Structure 1
Amino acid sequence: MHDLTGFQRDLLHIVHGLSEPHGLAIKEEIDEYYQQDIHHGRLYPNLDTLVEKGLVEKREKDGRTNIYETTHRGERELTARSEWESQHVTNQLS
Structure 2
Amino acid sequence: MDDLTGFQRDLLYVIAGEDRPSGQDLKDEVEQYYSSEINHGRLYPNLDAIVNKELVEKGELDRRTNYYNITKNGEEVIEERREWEQQYID
Structure-2-length-normalised TM-score? 0.98
Residue of structure 1 equivalent to 2:70: 70
Q: Residues of 2 paired with 1:18 and 1:28: CA distance?
A: 13
SS in structure 2 of the partner of residue 67 of structure 1:
strand
Q: Percent identity?
A: 53
TM-superposed deviation, 1:69: 0.3
Query: What does the per-residue CA deviation read over 1:36-55, in whole Å, with 9 as the maximum and x for residues that have no partner?
Result: 00001000000000000000
Residue of structure 2 equivalent to 1:39: 39
TM-superposed deviation, 1:82: 0.7
SS in structure 2 of the partner of residue 47 of structure 1:
helix
CA RMSD of aligned residues (A): 0.5
* Unpaired runs of at least 5, structure 2: none
Tell me the number of residue pairs that the alignment of Structure 1 and Structure 2 aligns: 90
Q: Which runs of 4+ in 1 moved over 6 A?
A: none
Q: Residues of 1 paired with 2:41 and 2:57: CA distance?
A: 19
Residue of structure 2 equivalent to 1:49: 49
SS in structure 1 of the partner of residue 54 of structure 2:
coil
Q: Residues of 1 paired with 2:85 and 2:78: CA distance?
A: 10
TM-superposed deviation, 1:71: 0.4
TM-superposed deviation, 1:79: 0.6
Residue of structure 2 equivalent to 1:4: 4
TM-superposed deviation, 1:12: 0.2
Q: Which has the larger radius of gyration?
A: 1
Q: Residues of 2 paired with 1:69 and 1:20: CA distance?
A: 5
